[in-house]
Amino acid sequence: MNSFDKLYKPGKMTLGIEFPLDNDWSTEGNRKRLEDNRPFGVPDISNHLALAKQIDEAGFAALWMRDVPVYDPNFGDGAQLFDTLPYLGYLAAATKNILLGTAAIVLPLQQPIKLAKAAATIENLSDGRLLLGLGLGDRPVEFLMYGINYQERPKLFKAHLKIMQEAWKTESDLSQFYPFLNQDVAVYPKPKNKIPLVIAGYSGQSMEWIAKNANGWFNYPKTPEETYLNQKKWCEALYDADQACKPYISAFHLNLLKDDNAEFRPHRFGGGVGVNHLTELLKTYEEIGVNHMALHLRKSETPVSESIAKIEEKVLPYFGI
């Protein structure tokens, strides 16, 4: 079974959670951050393992994390702090059912052979639960530190992906990328199953290219109206590429308000709402074609563990396979 078979069925939407598992952008979370003397955007992840297991056991479809090599105060976001690839391996052993997704690894910064080997390792050890999301990267300081030309990102994205896909083949020929090779070499392990590729945003490519080369598209948090237009573009590109339906994935910055009956209050990238109105809000996205929604809880006024429990009880039964 492909990982995407667990993620969605056409016309249905599943729910996931996006790291970090902290609510440090809420009023109480920010107060605690100041007490801990943490820079803005550097989360408290001390309870991450218990929360990851809670999310897995609750029945969410996926856990998503991002690749942030260095903390840049200009962005004010340290993601989940832990390095993406070893952390995925750790979570593969610590969880049982949930899909493990990256949204996204900055592909132009990666050595493609190393990433191909790491991704295949995680795919093997997680029993096929890896969703490999790849992105372009948007933090210039990282490219300066890596000695990579920021303007070369789109070209490197394509080139690195081709090398990875060749490395995963049972019979691979890496000499086409490395002409100096005077002997046969191979990268092991090989994936047990085809690793699903998710492209985050446009990654410097055309929509047509994404439709042909990706198994799913992870677009950034948008209003329902904006999401509808983007999902329509995605479907049209798939149709032009003579492709069957592929997942449209998005995220939502959720402030789960302490008043369970609170009406929806929009904010950038999402909004605040009581749990009793969350289902109807998410159904709006399902109806316009979103196949999977990753909930981001950093703004939540309700503590993360309590938020997960409330969503499990009152919302999750309405979404899933």
Mean pLDDT to the nearest integer, 117-127: 97
Calculate the alpha carbon distances from 205 to 32, 138, 320 in Å: 41, 14, 31
CA separation for the pair 308, 110 (Å, rounded): 33
pLDDT at 73 over 90: yes
Amino acid found at 316 = L
Count the neighbouring beta carbons within 10 Å of the beta carbon of residue 242.
8
pLDDT at 34 over 80: yes
Mean pLDDT to the nearest integer, 230-252: 87
Whether the upstream peptide bond of residue 20 has omega within 30° of 0, thus cis, is yes
Angle 154-141-38 from CA coordinates, rounded to 5° = 125
Share of the chain above pLDDT 90, in %: 92
Q: What is the pLDDT of residue 4?
A: 80
Mean pLDDT to the nearest integer, 214-238: 94
**Which among 3, 97, 71, 60 has a CA at the least distance from the CA of 254?**
60
Phi then psi dihedrals of residue 301, to 5 deg: -75, -20
Mean pLDDT to the nearest integer, 300-316: 98
Give the single-character DSSP code of 109.
Answer: G
Q: What is the pLDDT of residues 139-179, one digit of tens each?
A: 999 999 999 999 999 999 999 999 999 999 999 999 999 99
Which CATH number goes with the domain that contains 274? 3.20.20.30
Q: How many separate domains does the chain show?
A: 1
* DSSP-based three-state secondary structure for 145: helix
Q: What is the pLDDT of residue 1?
A: 60
Token couple for 170 = 């049972």
Q: Name 216's bridge partners.
A: 198
Mean pLDDT to the nearest integer, 248-253: 97
Angle 214-101-137 from CA coordinates, rounded to 5° = 70
Q: What is the pLDDT of residue 245?
A: 78
Structural domain including 127 reads 3-318
**pTM summary value:** 0.96
Phi then psi dihedrals of residue 220, to 5 deg: -70, 160
